[in-house]
Structure 1
């Protein structure tokens, strides 16, 4: 029996606009610090978000959501990410844009449901019998091939494991040797082997080899304490969508019709409601037995005014689900039509959903907080061999770039040169 680790299918984060946000930048009393955790300004909004974090920790946000309302480029996405960081580094953060739901292939509610499931984490804790230690010996034993061929096959593998308390020599099955090769295990690595499943995990290189090379690309770990054979708590973090995707892969036969069917199937397998309900049952059973712990993450929906009445109805129902993440919405619209209807409403959101929302307002940045031209000006200053930005650098950059007002004025003055 082989147990494979579920690989997370969460959206990968690159180094981008908001990777510098490390939290909300509040002091012990919940007051905003001027420049902290990557934030500049928005003191009132950050303090309000800090109170929301406290409400979430005290489990007083059930059935509600948060709306960040304010002009463009006032830090709404940064606030949502800051809330996620305050809740913990292992809390899933799933950002999406309202217009993502419109697709010719996937239903709107399906897109919303998938993102809801991406934002709900499950921390699975298992006590397993393991053999853990630094590899001191790794020697496969060969035997004559059982298929009457000329080659030889691995009959078993001898492995030596060392801890602070002692050493053990183990005789392992050849299937575990395949797992050792897959994990690229070598002498001097710290590994653990699960006794029941035979799964192998390479933890890292033993720190006694830390000065072996000048340029290090390894993660060095201390030699394990205790005995080689022990009971160990293994923690694995997955999202509900990871479990959906892992269980939705089609298991076809080997006949020609099955093979053709697999080739013709689209790469994205549909995850049905029935499958999700079955996974929810298993998850709930694990939670009741104390094996797993639910970690509600943050689902951030930007440009929420782009959703239509069908999506808003779905959001209303989803917020009441016991398996619901913390939902943060963001919009820069005032009074406008609810998409798909003739009804006008604040922020383009139906009134029944607005009643469920805690609304935080973000303010336009003032001159002291404006840093738009400072970044290119600092590059110009460094190119000219100066550490500090001078007035000449700002004037040079102002000649290269336009702000919104200058651009609008230029369009009015030279409108005959543009296509209308």
Structure 2
């Protein structure tokens, strides 16, 4: 019923004495549905707090368990790095640019990239043989997986192997992101830090928990319903 989207807006309550398998059944359902369907386990001790109301804790966990699928059409550079040149690196030197060799089904190509993309490549732990895509507008890098040409003979591996990208290197692609309502709440409630001395001092101090108000949740719900996501 969940896969057929017949449980949207509904809840299922499993009641029974301790040790009858309620938690095991819920965990089994979550494993069967996969990682794209959010599952938010919690225990009774999490509800009791001297700082946060019980209804606030329950509401936050409810919104953690409600998933959204956002689709965007973006211009991306999808590729499988064939070789990566070491750019003016070395100790005490700065990176001026990145030269990376790309490979698709239609052939190979070399691109000269901005040095800021180098940090994104390091953050995503991109290695030779990985399939990645780079957004043309923002320069964001996303590692899709390992090229199936580098698949080994092992039966079980932690790597996810994907086929080599088809078509041209530069293309328009539909990007799908799976998020939860709580992710949108936290992203919109988090204040943007400035560069003045007061903002820098506040960032150095112990961070506080960002407050998510009911008004903010209602605004996010309103935007989602208007976009028909």
TM range (shorter): 0.7 to 0.9
Pair 1:220–1:106, CA change in 2 (3 A): same
Change (3 A) 1:198 1:107: same
Aligned-residue offset at 1:162: 1.2
The answer to whether the 8 A contact 2:78-2:170 is kept is: no
**Structure 2: gaps of 5 or more residues:** 223-229
State the alpha-carbon separation in 1 of the partners of residues 172 and 109 from structure 2.
Answer: 16
Q: Does 1:67 align with 2:13?
A: yes
Q: CA deviation at 1:138?
A: 12
| SS of equivalent to 1:89 | coil
Residues 205, 98 of structure 1: CA spacing in aligned structure 2 closer, same or farther, 3 A cutoff? closer
> How far did 1:125 drift?
1.6
Q: Is the 8 A contact 1:245 1:271 kept in 2?
A: yes
Greater C-alpha Rg: 1
* CA 1:253–1:61: 2 relative to 1, 3 Å: closer
Question: 1:98 is matched with which residue?
Answer: 44
Find the counterpart in structure 1 of residue 192 from structure 2.
251
C-alpha distance in 1 between matches for 2:193 and 2:2: 44
TM normalised by structure 1 equals: 0.43
Contact kept, 8 Å, 2:82 with 2:102, in 1: the verdict is no
* C-alpha spacing 1:174/1:229, structure 2 compared with 1 (3 Å): same
| Native 8 Å contact 2:70 2:176 kept in 1 | yes
Distance 1:68 1:251, change over 3 A: same
CA distance 1:183–1:226, shift in 2 (3 Å): same
Question: Residue 156 and residue 217 in structure 1: after superposition, are their counterparts in 2 closer, same or farther (change >3 A)?
Answer: same
- CA deviations on 1:250-296 (whole Å, 9 max, x unpaired) are 32334443334344454422222233233223xxxxxxxxxxxxxxx
Shift of 1:111: 0.6
Counterpart position of 1:219: 160
Q: Deviations over 1:126-167 (max 9, x none)?
A: 222xxxxx9999999999999999976433323221111222
Post-superposition CA distance 1:159-179 (Å, at most 9, x none): 221111222222222222222
Note the C-alpha offset of 1:120: 0.7
C-alpha distance in structure 1 between counterparts of 2:188 and 2:172, whole Å? 29
- Seen in structure 2, the aligned counterparts of structure 1 residues 136 and 245 have a Cα distance that, compared at 3 Å, is closer
Superimposed CA distance per residue, residues 44-64 of structure 1 (whole angstroms, 9 cap, x where no aligned partner): xxxxxxxxxxx6677776776
Q: Residues 57, 267 of structure 1: CA spacing in aligned structure 2 closer, same or farther, 3 A cutoff?
A: same
Structure 2 CA distance, aligned partners of 1:139 and 1:115? 38
Q: Name the structure 2 match of 1:137.
A: 78
Distance between the aligned counterparts of 1:143 and 1:190, measured in 2? 13
CA distance in 1, matches of 2:147, 2:82: 25
RMSD: 5.3
1:208–1:151 CA distance, 2 compared to 1 (3 A): same
Q: Provide, for residues 13-36 of structure 1, a one-character-per-residue CA deviation record: whole Å limited to 9, x for no partner.
A: xxxxxxxxxxxxxxxxxxxxxxxx
Distance 1:193 1:112, change over 3 A: same
- Following TM superposition, by how much is the alpha carbon of 1:84 offset from its aligned partner in structure 2, in angstroms? 4.6
Preserved CA contact (<8 Å) 1:121 1:239: yes
Higher alpha-carbon deviation: 60-69 or 167-176 = 60-69
